[in-house]
Amino acid sequence: MTSVPETAPQRAVLRYSNPAVAFHWITAALVLLQAYLGFRFGLSEPGPDRDAVFIWHKSVGALILLLVLARLAYRVKNPPPPFPPELSTFERLAPKCLNVTVQTVSHSTTSFQNLVARYKATVVRTSERVELHVQQLYETGVLYPSKPPEGGVYLLVADAYAQSNQSARIQLYGPSMGYDALYRAIRGWATGENLGCPDMTTVP
């Protein structure tokens, strides 16, 4: 598997505000502290030290609760930055172009075989990125050593992030060779530079 980062110019994209970033990291730090206090309490012998750890554990828990409520209130009044329009195109074209069934022929000097591959594209939008999962399932011509996952084996995963420096970053996880047409199409969808569908007959 390989990771292929790509950066392409985009229109201006707003970043998360400083208070939102501070809420995130302070909460993360307190959760880690809470976990440490919990383990320490469980390993401590009964006594004053254990009681002190328990008090700290309750206090940090209450602080995390207040911080989460404050963060939710801030989020309601200050929504996260929008995705650039190109990522909506990415969401629309990926299922249209990749939910396909492809028939090819594998041949040698002594035989040939019909291969039927079904591809499934799933797009998931989170608050930080748009994820594309591409699965491949051979319906004929290939024997799997074990039962593949529902929808087929995972061929690649693409994460598209809206960046604060007027760019979209595309992170690809998949085979390093043989999938250039698919990679080019995904980059083009996310950046808006290419709206065509890849030739899936070239995919191994």
The confidence score (pLDDT) of residue 11 equals 43
CA distance 28 to 138: 43
Domain with 141, as residue range(s), is 2-11+83-202
Check whether residue 112 and residue 196 sit in a common domain.
yes
Q: Facing residues of 136 across strands? A: 119, 153
The confidence score (pLDDT) of residue 109 equals 67
Check whether residue 63 and residue 110 sit in a common domain.
no
Check whether residue 67 and residue 95 sit in a common domain.
no
Check whether residue 92 and residue 136 sit in a common domain.
yes
Domain count, the chain: 2
Check whether residue 88 and residue 185 sit in a common domain.
yes
Q: What does DSSP assign to residue 200?
A: G
The confidence score (pLDDT) of residue 5 equals 45
Q: Among 77, 97, 120, identify where a domain stops.
A: 77
Instruction: Give the pLDDT means over successive 10-residue stretches in the chain (204 positions).
Output: 45 63 89 89 84 89 92 83 65 86 77 84 82 89 85 87 63 84 84 81 80
Check whether residue 128 and residue 185 sit in a common domain.
yes
Which two three-digit tokens encode residue 174?
């998949």
Check whether residue 65 and residue 165 sit in a common domain.
no
Q: Among 77, 106, 123, identify where a domain stops.
A: 77
Q: Among 37, 60, 77, identify where a domain stops.
A: 77
Taking the model in full, what pTM does it have? 0.56
The confidence score (pLDDT) of residue 137 equals 92
- Largest Cα separation within the chain, whole Å, is 82
Check whether residue 44 and residue 7 sit in a common domain.
no
Check whether residue 108 and residue 45 sit in a common domain.
no
Check whether residue 102 and residue 166 sit in a common domain.
yes
Check whether residue 69 and residue 87 sit in a common domain.
no
- Phi and psi at residue 62, to the nearest 5°: -65, -40
User: 2-9 and 167-174: which strand pairing?
Assistant: antiparallel
Check whether residue 121 and residue 197 sit in a common domain.
yes
Residue type, 10: Q
